[in-house]
Amino acid sequence: MCPAARNTLFVLAIIGATCLADTAIAAESHFSAAAIPTETNSEDASTSLTAFGSANDPSCGCSACCADPWTVSRDPIFCYSYLDCLSNLGGAIDNGCNFKMPITGGAWHWFHQNLNGGPGGYGIPGLRGTYFWYLYADPQYTTGAGNTIGGHMELRLRETETFRTFVDDQVWTWELYGYIQNDELGTLKAGQLYNRFGIFWDGVFFGNASYFDGMKLDADYGVSWEKTTDIHDCLKVDSYVQYFFHEDQSNGSFGGADAESVDGYTEKNTGVARLVPTWTRADGSQLAIGASGMVGQIDSQIALPDETVWAYGVDATYTKGPWKAFVEGSQTYGVRNPVSYVSGGPSDQLTNFLGGIHYTRGAVTYRCSYSNSIYEHPHAVQNMVLAGATVTLTDHVDLYIEYVNQRVDGASLPGRNGDFFNSIEWVINWHF
């Protein structure tokens, strides 16, 4: 049997065994789980990368019955967790009046199984040890007029080595901003915050091609205006207008993906706009169609000239009951890195695609996705396939099992083709 077929059968066996266990649990147990909270804006995915779902009750109006498609209440396998005592930590910092400061945290523990015979274990070479520890703090104060003034911090820590070669320290902030929220006018944020170009996230641990290209979960320094407008019971519109004056030299991309990994090649003065109308039917199904645009500058103090980078993208997400399907495409112009990690040269055009489907049953969310990056001048294609499952062991502990194949094909420069990853990833995320 060829290696690719053997790997595929192995992954299918893992997912099949998980499915059988889930079916048995669903037949014998009925637990209730609270939905994991998301950020203020209704389009946001939880930063803990949860699964998705929606309510299904045709007997009432759309806005009253239909859950946010980015959030799902799942049945944990075990009812009790010893982390329950930590989940109320933020409640201790609450004067019972207008000020609150929820505090949460946890860690990602990543075990890598290389199917090509390379090194595996706890992390990968260059990223050994706990993937990272994290701490969230969300102080907020409600004024007498009903406005909210607050902040958000995500602090990360690694025990050994830095998160990426271009990240300066083993302790760093991923997001750090203040905000003011008004029910009529929306939310204004300022600080280190996420760029909202495209679908926020697809719920997996490992990532997708756009993430490794520096196009997702990328925070920089700037301001953001965000608002959800209810047009009527079954239609709402999420809108984002953002301006970033400087990069923060920190994201999840590979070195060689964008300007943040190159000293002297700096992202500045970037504008982002995104609009997402979401239609909700009485049966609980939802359709969200998004459009995004971005334009920015790269200040070059190396051999390359200054660069203008601009991009546009469209996406669609459909959710019904336990099913979720999504697709996204984007086009980016401009040299974002002088030596691309995919093409090996100063490619000036990038086409991204992401598509996937999720199904949630009981404690398990099954996931399958395909993404790619097509670089031009010089040419190369990155293809990425991910299949796996997320198991909610308790309300505070999730298990991720993911098969990943990430490789480069069709490169015009020699020595670029081949696998980045062909592996199974075993990940525990605990959080309080």
Instruction: Work out the mean pLDDT of the chain and round it to a whole number.
Output: 85
DSSP at 94: B
Which pLDDT score, from 0 to 100, does residue 18 have? 46
Q: Could you read off the pLDDT of 127-159 as tens digits, one per residue? A: 999 999 999 999 999 998 999 999 999 999 999
**Cα 201–chain centre separation:** 3
More confident residue, 8 or 29: 8
Phi-psi region of 19 (alpha: psi -120 to 50; beta: other; left: phi over 0): alpha
Confidence check: pLDDT of 69 > 70: no
More confident residue, 24 or 206: 206
- The DSSP H or E segment spanning 428 is strand 418-431
First and final C-alpha spacing in the chain: 45
More confident residue, 232 or 16: 232
Confidence check: pLDDT of 278 > 80: yes
pTM, to two decimals: 0.82
Instruction: Indicate the pLDDT class of residue 244, thresholds 50, 70 and 90.
Output: very high
Per-domain residue ranges for the chain?
A: 3-431
Fold held by 3-431: Porin (2.40.160)
Q: Which residues contact 313 (CB under 8 A, 6 or more apart)?
A: 197, 198, 290, 291, 292, 293, 328, 329, 330, 331, 352
Average pLDDT over residues 337-342: 96
Q: Could you read off the pLDDT of 10-61 as tens digits, one per residue? A: 444 544 544 444 444 343 332 232 333 334 444 443 333 333 233 334 344 4
Which pLDDT score, from 0 to 100, does residue 368 have? 98
Cβ atoms of 195 and 242 closer than 8 Å: yes
User: CA dihedral defined by 324, 329, 335, 340, rounded to 10 degrees?
Assistant: 50
Residues of the chain above pLDDT 90, percent: 76
Q: Could you read off the pLDDT of 72-114 as tens digits, one per residue? A: 445 777 666 666 666 555 555 555 568 999 999 999 999 999 9
